[in-house]
Amino acid sequence: MREFKKLTPYREALSILLNDLTEIADVEEVSLDDALGRVLAEDVVSPIDSPPFDRAAVDGYGLRAEDTFQAREYSPVKIKVIDEIAAGEESRAKVEPGTAVKLLTGAKIPEGANAVLMQEMAERKGNIIRVLRPVAPGQNVAMKGEDVRKGEVVLRKGQILRPQDLAILKSLGFRTVRVKRKPRVGIIITGSELIEEFDEEALMHGRIIDSNSVMLKGLVKQYFGEPRFYGVLPDDEKKIGEVIRKAREENDLVLVTGGSAFGDMDFAHRFVNLLFHGTTIKPGRPIGYGERTFVMSGYPAAVFTQFHLYVKHALAKLVGARDYEVKVRAKLTERVPSQLGRYEFVKVRYENGTAKPIRKKGSGIISALVESNGYIVVPEDSEGYLEGESVEVVLY
């Protein structure tokens, strides 16, 4: 089999890829219920102060702090309760010197009050409370605009919307949000040895169940995309070419597994004008890219690596996503050797500040992916890391 004459360094290949892509301009308006995981298309500016008024942070009594300054447990101050309201209600009473309004948490602070006395700090009999401790002005009060000020940018373009982001949008009165259209990603699996369903007899005669399709569908969904599956194709040059051309017309990106090297049945790369073909990554060296199409390996672990090192960055570029990788520092539990000249993707199990390398090797070993929850990379100019060394782990 013909080998690669030259391998493109990882960073150079990634730069070529990202420079070839432009951000999708299409924007959709979706309900907050449908916005989880979508990428924000524009900055969001708050139309209101939140909270929109001073409100009680505890159950208690809205009053003038000055009226409590002399209060002690051995010498309580007496104050008259002139009204009682719950959250969502507003008192029409004005707090004058020596008076208070009973409030529940979240209730609007009545006019004239500047503090809330916790109900545990008072003894009540009828409409009179005996204040046992003083409070300071502003104590136990959530001030107007304390959370968000009107006109403040609360979420920025490129934010991947999380449950807490949706919560703040809802609290500010938004029902919908403008997000980037999901990139359409065509997925083509090639290989005459592959079957789509379990068939014990076929497996006994050398066939393999395709697992790349379901993995890539999940990864594409995880990283902002909309997968479109074009099936498992046999090693038929004409058919592969037809489907690649069709998928390219209908999608923003196309992922083709199998046929990325130079074997007699490696056809996929022949139908793409590649900007690079063969990079320094391990596993997954034979990856190629051009015309918004990735020609990827056939082995699942290699495909997984190629997706994380290249495809997810392409998807992020298409939607303008920010902060799409979760990275942590960890100490290696074992030495990680590597060879100069290769950019190695090392699967690890991250727990409690440590990273344990997964020692199962091989581009077809899916269980190693299952046992890991992140990866570290060893760049081309390094021979690896020592046990106990601090490394950056990218979680997945």
**326-365 pLDDT, tens digit each:** 999 999 999 999 999 999 999 999 999 999 999 988 888 9
Rounded Cα distance between 374 and 240, Å, is: 33
Residue pLDDT, tens place only, 32-82: 999 999 999 999 999 999 999 999 999 999 999 999 999 999 999 999 999
- Same domain as 295, residue 338: no
Taking alpha carbons only, the member of 228, 221, 197, 190 closest to residue 307 is: 221
pLDDT, position 275: 97
- Same domain as 230, residue 155: no
DSSP 373: S
Domain-embedded: residue 70: yes
Domain-embedded: residue 371: yes
Residue pLDDT, tens place only, 249-266: 999 999 999 977 766 667
pLDDT exceeds cutoff 80 at 169: yes
Cβ–Cβ under 8 Å, residues 303 and 284: yes
Rounded Cα distance between 394 and 12, Å, is: 20
- Same domain as 233, residue 337: no
- Same domain as 130, residue 119: yes
Of 24-38, 207-221, 359-373, 374-388, the poorest mean pLDDT is in 359-373
Query: How many folded domains does the chain comprise?
Result: 4
% of residues, the chain, pLDDT over 90:
90
Cβ–Cβ under 8 Å, residues 67 and 183: no
Q: Look at the block and give the residue holding tokens 């015309």.
A: 291
Domain-embedded: residue 364: yes
Q: What is the mean pLDDT of the chain?
A: 95
- Same domain as 215, residue 308: yes
- Same domain as 285, residue 202: yes
pLDDT, position 202: 82
Query: Angle 10-20/312-319 helices, nearest 10 degrees?
Result: 30
Domain-embedded: residue 1: no
- Same domain as 222, residue 113: no
Taking alpha carbons only, the member of 254, 259, 255 closest to residue 237 is: 259
Final residue before a domain boundary, out of 142, 159, 192:
142
Type of residue numbered 320: G
Of 2-16, 153-167, 279-293, 323-337, the poorest mean pLDDT is in 2-16
Per-residue pLDDT band for 87 (boundaries 50, 70, 90) equals confident
CA 262 to chain centre: 37
Q: Look at the block and give the residue holding tokens 């006109």.
A: 151
pLDDT exceeds cutoff 80 at 216: yes
- From the number of C-beta atoms within 10 Å of its C-beta (0-12, 13-18, 19+), residue 315 rates as buried
Final residue before a domain boundary, out of 319, 351, 370:
319
Name the CA radius of gyration of the chain, rounded: 31
Taking alpha carbons only, the member of 368, 331, 371 closest to residue 353 is: 331
In sequence order, which residues have a C-beta less than 8 Å from that of residue 386 and are 6 or more positions away?
A: 332, 335
Tell me, what CATH number does 380's domain have?
Answer: 2.40.340.10
pLDDT, position 2: 53
Rounded Cα distance between 168 and 156, Å, is: 13
Rounded Cα distance between 25 and 368, Å, is: 38
pLDDT exceeds cutoff 50 at 146: yes
pLDDT exceeds cutoff 70 at 173: yes
What is the mean pLDDT of the segment spanning 221-236? Answer: 96
- Same domain as 269, residue 128: no
- Same domain as 285, residue 243: yes
Final residue before a domain boundary, out of 127, 156, 180:
180
Tell me, what CATH number does 33's domain have?
Answer: 3.90.105.10
% of residues, the chain, pLDDT over 70:
98
Note down the domain range covering 45.
27-50+148-180
Cβ–Cβ under 8 Å, residues 241 and 342: no
- Same domain as 94, residue 229: no
Rounded Cα distance between 280 and 282, Å, is: 7
Residue pLDDT, tens place only, 89-124: 999 999 999 999 999 999 999 999 999 999 999 999
pLDDT exceeds cutoff 80 at 283: yes
Q: What is the DSSP string of 74-136?
A: TBPEEEEEEEEE-TT--------TTEEEEE-TTPBPPTT--EEEEGGGEEEETTEEEE-S---
- Same domain as 280, residue 217: yes
Domain-embedded: residue 5: no
Rounded Cα distance between 349 and 395, Å, is: 9
- Same domain as 292, residue 281: yes
Domain-embedded: residue 366: yes
Domain-embedded: residue 3: no
Rounded Cα distance between 129 and 77, Å, is: 8
pLDDT exceeds cutoff 50 at 1: no
Domain-embedded: residue 384: yes
Tell me, what CATH number does 186's domain have?
Answer: 3.40.980.10
